[in-house]
Amino acid sequence: MTGALPSTVGGPFRVVVAGAGVAGLACVHRLLALARERGLPLRLTVLEAASRPGGVIITDRVDGCVIEGGPDCFVSDKPWGLDLCRRAGLADEIVGTATSHRRSFVYMRGRLLPIPEGYQLLAPSRMLPFTMTPILSLRGKLRAACDLVLPRGPRVPDESLASFVRRRFGQETLERLAQPLLAGIYNADPERLSLRATMPRFLELEQKHRSVILGLLRDRRRSPAAASTGVSGARYPLFVTLRSGLQTLTDRLAASLPPGSLRLGTTMARLEPLADATGREAIAGPAGPVRGASRWRVSTYQGETFEADAAILALPACAAAPLVRPFDERLAHLLTAVPYGSAATVSLVYRRTDVAHPLDGFGFVVPRCENRRLVACSFSSVKFPGRAPGDRVLLRAFLDGKTSEGADPARLERIVRDELRDILGIASAPLLVRSYVFARAMAQYEVGHLERVQAVEERLARHAGLALAGNGLRGVGLPDCVRSGELAADSVLATARVVSLAR
C-alpha cells in the first residue's frame, strides 16, 4: 500500500487486534510503523487470552539450556520472518543450523538409517545416494525411479500429498520417507493434506519438467551453490533461529507496544458490526465498493467493551469462526472447515555420557507403519549452537494429537522415555524434562484448501475494517504467519483512508 493517509477526522483510527501470537504481534508492529510513517493517529488495543504473549512460541531458559516448546526454527527463503527479526533489532541473535552432522535419520525396524543425501521431503534430487539407501527395497527404488519415465498426471483441481507421492514414486517411498518427514512438519495425515496448499513446488516441477526427479536435478544444476551446501531432506542451510530462542522475538515485539495497549488474560467474546459512520450501505474501498460495517463493537469475557474502526482476528481459524458467526454464517462455516490438530513436545536434558548413540545427525523421524508413539525427535543441541552446556545433550520429542490430547506431563514424559530407551538406548533418567501440549494449534490444509481460502477472502471483502491473520489460511510456518499479520495491517489501514473520508 502506498500514499499518505490523511488523519482521521474526529479522533484516532481505532484498531482492536485479537491474539498476540507471532501473527498478531507482526500485525501490530506493522500497524504502528505505517501509522507513524503516515502521520495517522492510531489507538491500538491488543487482546490476548493467555497470560503471556507469543502464542505457541515458548522458550524456557533453564540451567544453561535453551528449550523451545513450540517452533524451534523457521525457513529463511520466505523473507518475512527474518525481516521482522531484523526490524525488531535482533539481527545479532540470528543463527543458522550447525554446520556439522547435517543429516537426519529414519527409524526402521529398530535402527536409525540416514535419509539419503539430496532427498527432499517427497522426492530424491540425487540418484546415487537414493539407490544406495537401505531404507527402501530394490523394488521400492525401482518404483520410485519410474518417475523418470512416467507421463504428467491428469490435471485435477487438487490432490492429496499421499496420492501425488504414490502416483510418482510408489507406496514404499510414501510410507518410509515422505509420510514421516511430512508428519514432522504438519503432524497430519498426508492422505488428507492438499498438495497445492502445502507443497505446490512439487506440482510445478511435474507440470514443467514432467518428471519431478528430472526437475529437481535440473534445479540443482542451475543452482550449484545450493548443491554444494549439501541441500538434503530438510534443506538445513535454509533454517534459522534466534540464539536465545524464538520467544525473544515475540517478547521484543510485545515490549515495543504502546503502554497499556496489550491486555493479557483478556479474551474476545463477541464481535459486532455497527452501521458505518455515514449510515450508507456501501462505502468505496480500494478494490471497489465495500459493504457492511466500518465500525465494530468488541466485548470480552472479562466484561470490557470497545468500539473500533477495524478489528483484526489473529487467531487460529477455529477460534475466529465463533466470533464471525453472528454476522456471517458462511464465513464461520468456511473457517470451521479448516481442521486443527493437537501436538506435544517433550524436551529432555541428559548427560552426554548417558547417551550411547553418537548423535551424529539433527534427529530422526518415525514412519507411521512402525507403530510407535513418537513422531520425530530433534537432537536440538546438535542442530543449533548454544542449546545446552557442552557436557549435556538436549533432545526434543514430538508427539501427535492422539498421544498428546488430554495427557498429563508425567504420562508424556513416560511415553517419551520409553521410546528413547528403545530407539536410542537411553536408560538413565534425564536431568531435566519440560513438556508442552498444544491443543488444536496446528492447522491442517486439506484437499480443496485453496478454494476455501479464496471463498474466505471473498466473504472478508464484504466487511470493511475486518481482517484475519494467523496460520489458518495461507501458510502454517512462522514466516507465513508474520506475513499474514502484515497483510492484515495493510488491509485495515487501507480502510482508514475510507473511514476518514466517510466521517
The nearer residue to ligand FAD, 130 or 364, going by C-beta atoms, is 364
Q: Could you give the angle at the alpha carbon of 413 between the alpha carbons of 408 and 419, nearest 5°?
A: 130
Provide Rg for the chain, Cα atoms. 24
CB 460 within 8 A of CB 466: yes
User: Quick count: other Cβ atoms within 10 Å of Cβ 137?
Assistant: 11
The nearer residue to ligand FAD, 257 or 476, going by C-beta atoms, is 476
Residue 261 touches ligand FAD, criterion: CB under 6 A: no
Residue 19 touches ligand FAD, criterion: CB under 6 A: yes
Residue 212 touches ligand FAD, criterion: CB under 6 A: no
The three cell numbers of residue 159 are 490432490
> Which residue of 31, 35, 74, 492 would you call a contact of ligand FAD, by CB under 6 A?
74
Residue type, 129: P
Which of these ranges, 43-51, 162-170, 446-454, 458-466, lies near ligand FAD under the rule CB under 6 A?
A: 43-51
251: left (phi over 0), alpha (psi -120 to 50) or beta: alpha
The nearer residue to ligand FAD, 365 or 502, going by C-beta atoms, is 365
The nearer residue to ligand FAD, 173 or 484, going by C-beta atoms, is 484
The nearer residue to ligand FAD, 58 or 145, going by C-beta atoms, is 58
Restricted to residues 319-338, the positions that interact with ligand FAD (CB under 6 A) are 319
Q: What share of the chain is helix, strand, coil (3-state, %, to 5)?
A: 40, 25, 35
Task: Say whether 447 sits in a helix, a strand or coil.
Answer: coil
The nearer residue to ligand FAD, 348 or 441, going by C-beta atoms, is 441
CB 130 within 8 A of CB 192: no
Rounded-to-integer distance, Cα 170 and Cα 167, Å: 6
Residue 379 touches ligand FAD, criterion: CB under 6 A: no
CB 396 within 8 A of CB 377: yes
> Which residue of 34, 66, 71, 133 would you call a contact of ligand FAD, by CB under 6 A?
71
Q: Beta partners for 24? A: none
Restricted to residues 351-370, the positions that interact with ligand FAD (CB under 6 A) are none
Rounded-to-integer distance, Cα 483 and Cα 203, Å: 23
Which of these ranges, 70-78, 82-90, 130-138, 158-166, lies near ligand FAD under the rule CB under 6 A?
A: 70-78
The three cell numbers of residue 420 are 528413547
What is the secondary structure of 399-440 as a DSSP string? E-HHHHTT--HHHHHHHHHHHHHHHH---SPPSEEEEEEEEE
Rounded-to-integer distance, Cα 300 and Cα 284, Å: 30
Residue 423 beta carbon to ligand FAD: minimum distance, rounded to whole angstroms: 20
Which of these ranges, 114-122, 194-202, 333-341, 473-481, lies near ligand FAD under the rule CB under 6 A?
A: 473-481
Residue 263 beta carbon to ligand FAD: minimum distance, rounded to whole angstroms: 9
Measuring CA to CA, which residue among 202, 199, 212, 209 is closest to residue 450? 199
Residue 268 touches ligand FAD, criterion: CB under 6 A: yes
Residue 249 touches ligand FAD, criterion: CB under 6 A: no
Residue 436 beta carbon to ligand FAD: minimum distance, rounded to whole angstroms: 7
Q: Could you give the angle at the alpha carbon of 118 between the alpha carbons of 112 and 124, nearest 5°?
A: 95
The nearer residue to ligand FAD, 70 or 430, going by C-beta atoms, is 70
The nearer residue to ligand FAD, 18 or 123, going by C-beta atoms, is 18
Rounded-to-integer distance, Cα 309 and Cα 14, Å: 5
Residues 6+ apart with CB under 8 A from 354: 426, 427, 428
Residue 180 touches ligand FAD, criterion: CB under 6 A: no
The nearer residue to ligand FAD, 34 or 375, going by C-beta atoms, is 375
The nearer residue to ligand FAD, 105 or 398, going by C-beta atoms, is 398
Residue 453 touches ligand FAD, criterion: CB under 6 A: no
Rounded-to-integer distance, Cα 347 and Cα 397, Å: 6
Residue 203 beta carbon to ligand FAD: minimum distance, rounded to whole angstroms: 21
The three cell numbers of residue 387 are 542449546
> Which residue of 65, 181, 315, 324 would you call a contact of ligand FAD, by CB under 6 A?
315
Which of these ranges, 59-67, 128-136, 311-319, 363-371, lies near ligand FAD under the rule CB under 6 A?
A: 311-319
Residue 237 touches ligand FAD, criterion: CB under 6 A: no
Residue 22 touches ligand FAD, criterion: CB under 6 A: yes
Which of these ranges, 12-20, 213-221, 227-235, 402-410, lies near ligand FAD under the rule CB under 6 A?
A: 12-20
Strands (E), 196-245: 239-242
DSSP designation for 54: B
CB 12 within 8 A of CB 43: yes
The nearer residue to ligand FAD, 82 or 441, going by C-beta atoms, is 441
Strands lying side by side in the sheet with 268-274: 268-274, 295-300, 305-308
Place of cell 487482546: 47
> Which residue of 57, 58, 67, 437 would you call a contact of ligand FAD, by CB under 6 A?
57
Residue 471 touches ligand FAD, criterion: CB under 6 A: yes
Restricted to residues 426-445, the positions that interact with ligand FAD (CB under 6 A) are 438, 441-442
> Which residue of 7, 244, 267, 336 would you call a contact of ligand FAD, by CB under 6 A?
267
Which of these ranges, 64-72, 191-199, 404-412, 419-427, lies near ligand FAD under the rule CB under 6 A?
A: 64-72
Task: Say whether 241 sits in a helix, a strand or coil.
Answer: strand
Residue 442 beta carbon to ligand FAD: minimum distance, rounded to whole angstroms: 5
Q: Which residues bind ligand FAD (CB under 6 A)?
A: 18-24, 47-50, 55-57, 70-74, 267-268, 314-316, 319, 343, 345, 438, 441-442, 470-471, 476-478, 481
